[in-house]
Amino acid sequence: MGDIFADRVVVGSEDRLAEMFGGDLGNEGIKFSAGNPNAQFFPVTEMKQAFNHAIEAYGNQMFEYQTVSGFSQLRRQLTTWAEQTAQISTTPANILLTQGGQQALDLIGKLLLNAGDEIVVEAPTYVGALSAFDQYDPRYYDVALEPDGLNLTQLEHLLQHHPGIKLLYTVPDFHNPTGVTMSLAKRKRLVTLAEKYDFLILEDTPYRDLRYKGKQLPAIKSFDRQGHVLFVSSFSKILMPGLRVGWVVADQAIIQRLRKLKTSSDLETPGLVLAALEQYMEHNDLKKHIAGMLPTYRSRLEAMLAVLDETMPAEVEYTRPEGGFFIWLTLPDAINVQKLLNETCIPEDKISFVPGKVFYAHKDQQNGIRLNFSGVSEEQIKLGITKLSNSLRQAIMLKKVKIAL
Residues 246-275 within binding reach of its own copies (CB under 8 A): 257, 260-261, 263-273
Can you tell me which of 111, 184, 294, 306 binds its own copies, judged by CB under 8 A? 111
Residue closer to its own copies by CB (options 48, 213) is: 48
> Residues 6 or more apart from 212 whose CB is under 8 A from it?
294, 297, 298, 301, 322, 323
24 binds its own copies (CB under 8 A): no
CB 133, CB 125: distance < 8 Å: no
Residue closer to its own copies by CB (options 75, 228) is: 228
397 binds its own copies (CB under 8 A): no
Task: Please state, in angstroms and rounded to a whole number, the distance separating the CA atoms of residues 124 and 402.
Answer: 29
String of contacts with its own copies for each residue 32-71, x by CB under 8 A: ----x--xx-x-x--xx--xx--x---xxxxxxxx-----
Closest CA to 121 of 175, 174, 163: 175
Count how many residues are written for the chain. 405
Grouping H, G, I as helix, E, B as strand and the rest as coil, residue 170 is strand
CB 116, CB 139: distance < 8 Å: yes
Closest CA to 355 of 331, 319, 390: 331
CB 324, CB 126: distance < 8 Å: no
Min CB(35)–its own copies separation in Å = 9
Residue closer to its own copies by CB (options 182, 273) is: 273
Residue closer to its own copies by CB (options 55, 306) is: 55
Residue closer to its own copies by CB (options 13, 160) is: 13
> Residues 6 or more apart from 3 whose CB is under 8 A from it?
none
Can you tell me which of 118, 122, 134, 204 binds its own copies, judged by CB under 8 A? 134
Can you tell me which of 22, 241, 321, 368 binds its own copies, judged by CB under 8 A? 241
Q: Computed over its alpha carbons, how large is the radius of gyration of the chain?
A: 22
Min CB(272)–its own copies separation in Å = 6
CB 186, CB 147: distance < 8 Å: no
Min CB(66)–its own copies separation in Å = 7
Burial class (CB in 10 A: 0-12, 13-18, 19+), 373: buried
7 binds its own copies (CB under 8 A): yes
Residues 135-164 within binding reach of its own copies (CB under 8 A): 135-136
String of contacts with its own copies for each residue 201-230, x by CB under 8 A: --------------------------xx--
Q: How many angstroms separate the first and last alpha carbons of the chain?
A: 54
Min CB(45)–its own copies separation in Å = 9
> Taking contact as CB under 8 A, which single stretch among the options 12-20, 72-80, 82-90, 295-303 is the one that binds its own copies?
12-20
> Taking contact as CB under 8 A, which single stretch among the options 75-83, 132-140, 284-292, 377-385 is the one that binds its own copies?
132-140
Can you tell me which of 30, 220, 232, 243 binds its own copies, judged by CB under 8 A? 243
> To 10 degrees, the CA torsion angle through 347, 351, 352, 355?
-80
